[in-house]
Structure 1
Amino acid sequence: MTTFGAIGIASSGMTVYRKWLDALSDNIANASTVTSTDEDAFQARYVVASEMQDGQGAQVRGVVVGSAEGRMVYEPAHPLADAEGYVRYPDIDMASQMSQLIMAQRGYQANAAIVDRARATYEAALQIGRN
């Protein structure tokens, strides 16, 4: 594998992890979004990634959205509550989202480190060629 190949593969990984981080941040930001029972709840986004066709990196295949049904919570004092006192919250598990956030952040950092090391290796090779 060439230095440029390593940079390309790691860059594709960074793109996948960035999109995963974006989806997770949206999910976490909207975990407490309340809607009335006659509306859909916020739908969590889940990134689906796969290997590139040539085997030289990763790519986002698509985004799957969670259930619009959400979970019903009894809050009769809430302004959006229905006649029985229920509102709808997204069905988002914060513990799972935070765990995934840590994994995505570390994956992004690992790929960024690979890009940085490959760049340093390339610069060192250029310096050797100059001398």
Structure 2
Amino acid sequence: MTLSGSLDISVQGLSAQSERMKVHANNIANVNTPFYERKIPVLMENQQMAFQDVIAGMRKGVITTGVSYGPGGTLMAGVVADKTPGKRIYEPGHPEADKDGYVTLSNVNPMTDMADAFNTSRLYEANLAVIGVVKNMANKALEIGRGG
């Protein structure tokens, strides 16, 4: 893998974790919003193949069609709604109350989303660290190239 490919993968990781953090922040912000359904971020592997892998496959007689080329990595695939029912409370005067006087509260558990946000933050930091390592490797390579 090239240094550029390593950077591309880390940048994808930064982007995916950033989008993931937005989802968790939105969940926490809506913890007291009646009928709000918690969103769960879904990440997936970037299925793009590197060009050299396609060429290597062709040399072995494997022809790949419909493939996009680029580095691997992680992508934010989207979000899914958490279908766990929210707590129902009896509050007949509430504007969101149903005909029986019950309000369905958000199903967000702030502790769960805070823990997920903390994990997301650590993954973001790990991707930043990889970028730092790649930067140092590139600088060392330049020093070697200059003879010293």
Query: What SS does the corresponding residue of 2:107 show, helix, strand or coil?
Result: coil
Q: 1:71 Cα deviation (Å)?
A: 2.5
Q: Are 1:51 and 2:45 matched, yes or no?
A: yes
Q: Which has the larger radius of gyration?
A: 2
Aligned length in residues: 125
Partner of 1:15: helix, strand, or coil? helix
Offset, 1:100: 0.7
| 2:143 corresponding residue in structure 1 | 127
Percent identity, aligned pairs only, is 31
2:33 counterpart SS class: coil
Which deviations, in whole Å up to 9, do the C-alpha atoms of 1:63-89 show, x marking residues without a partner? 112339532123467565456553221
User: CA 1:64/1:83 → structure 2, altered by over 3 Å: closer, same or farther?
Assistant: closer
The amino acid across from 1:44 in the alignment is: R
With over 3 angstroms needed to count, the CA separation of the structure-2 counterparts of 1:85 and 1:119, relative to structure 1, is: same
Where do residues 1-131 of structure 1 align in structure 2 (5 Å cutoff)? 1-34=1-34, 41-53=35-47, 54=49, 56-67=72-83, 70-75=86-91, 78=94, 80-81=96-97, 85-131=101-147
Distance 2:80 2:121 in 1: 20
Normalising by structure 1, we get a TM-score of: 0.79
Offset from partner CA, 1:29-51 (integer Å, 9 cap, x none): 101113xxxxxx11221111111
Q: What secondary structure does 1:19 align onto?
A: helix
Instruction: Describe the SS at the equivalent of 1:112.
Output: helix
**Alignment partners' CA distance in 2, 1:62 and 1:81:** 31
RMSD after superposition = 2.3
Listed as ranges, the gaps of 5+ residues in structure 2 are 50-70
Gap regions ≥5 residues in structure 1: 35-40
**Structure 2 CA distance, aligned partners of 1:90 and 1:10?**
34
Matched position secondary structure for 2:40: strand
Normalised TM-score (structure 2): 0.71
Cα shift at 1:8 = 1.1
